[in-house]
Amino acid sequence: MQLLNKASNHFMQAIALDKNYLTAKLNYVCALGLQQKPKEALAYFQKKKLQKAAAKNAAMSDKYKLVSAILSALMNDKLGAEAGFHDLLKSKNQPVAVAARYNLDVVQNKVNVMLPEHEFEFPERFKTLMKGIKLGRMSQVEPLVLNEKGDLVRHVVERDTDTFSFGNKQDNVLSIIRFKNKMAENIELPKLVGPPTQWAFYNLVSTTTGYFLTSEKDGIIIKVTNDGKVEEMAKVIKH
C-alpha cells in the first residue's frame, strides 16, 4: 500500500507539470482503484472530465472506458460494468478488447481459476519464421568495452537489422537480432490468448501506441500496434 501511495504522489507531480498528461491521470485513477478507493477514483474521473478529454485521443479513449468499467465493478455496479466491458469487446485496441473480455467474465462469475504459469502463445508461423533467423559471426566484429570487469558488446547494422552480442573476454553470453517487420502477418490478440483460465498478462507490456509481446522460451520479442500490426521483431539467443 505504501508503494501505491508513493506512486499516486508521483502521478500527481507529473500532472502538476503537465495538466494535459492523460497517461498520468489514467495511472492515478488506477492507483486509487488498487487502493480500494473506487469512489474517490470515480470522483476524480468525473471532476476532470477525463472521458471527454480522452475521446480526443484515439489511443487513450478505450483505455479510459476500460478503467471506468472496472471502477463500476469495484463499486458493485454490475450492470454498468457489464455494459462498459461489453461495449469494449469490439474495440480496435486489441489489448483493451482482451482485458474487457476477461473482466466481463469475472463480473459474470465465469472465471474460476487463473494459472500464472500460462502466457500468450505465439502462432506457429512466428516461431517458424524466427527459427530461420541466423546469427552472423559476431566474434569477428571489434567489441566495445562496457566496464572495468571486461564486459563487451558487439554491434552490427545491416539495412533494417541491428545485431547486438553481449559477453566478456571469454565468450558471448546473449545476442539480440532486431529488425523491422516485412514478413510476419498481423497479430490477432483476442484469438491468441485462448480460454480465460490461460490468460496472463505478464508477458505483454502495454504502450501508448500498442504493446510488446514476449516469449522467453521461444526467444521472441515483437512490437505491435493497438490494431495488431507487427512493426518490429527481435530474436534473443542465449549462448
Same domain, 132 and 231: yes
Mean of pLDDT over the chain: 85
User: Which residue, of 107, 136, 162, is where some domain finishes?
Assistant: 107
Name the residue type at position 217. K
The pLDDT confidence band at residue 210, using thresholds 50, 70 and 90, is confident
> Dihedral of CA 190/116/114/71: which sign?
negative
**Residue 233 is assigned to a structural domain of this protein:** yes
The pLDDT confidence band at residue 75, using thresholds 50, 70 and 90, is very high
Residue 197 has what pLDDT?
A: 47
Task: Report the chain's terminal Cα–Cα distance, integer Å.
Answer: 40
**Residue 115 is assigned to a structural domain of this protein:** no
Among 168, 42, 96, smallest CA distance to 51 is for 42
Residue 118 has what pLDDT?
A: 58
Q: How many domains does the chain have?
A: 2
The pLDDT confidence band at residue 92, using thresholds 50, 70 and 90, is confident
User: Measured between alpha carbons, how far is 186 from 228 in angstroms, rounded to an integer?
Assistant: 5
Same domain, 54 and 149: no
**Residue 39 is assigned to a structural domain of this protein:** yes
Q: What is the pLDDT of residues 125-183, one digit of tens each?
A: 888 888 888 888 887 888 898 888 888 899 999 888 999 999 887 777 899 999 998 88
Same domain, 44 and 130: no
Over its C-alpha atoms, the chain yields an Rg (Å, rounded) of 21
Q: For the residues 31-35, what does the mean pLDDT come to?
A: 90
Same domain, 154 and 221: yes
Q: Strand pairing partners for 230?
A: 224
The pLDDT confidence band at residue 51, using thresholds 50, 70 and 90, is confident
For residues 45 and 25, the answer to whether their CB atoms sit within 8 Å is no
Q: 138: phi > 0 → left, psi -120 to 50 → alpha, else beta; which? A: alpha
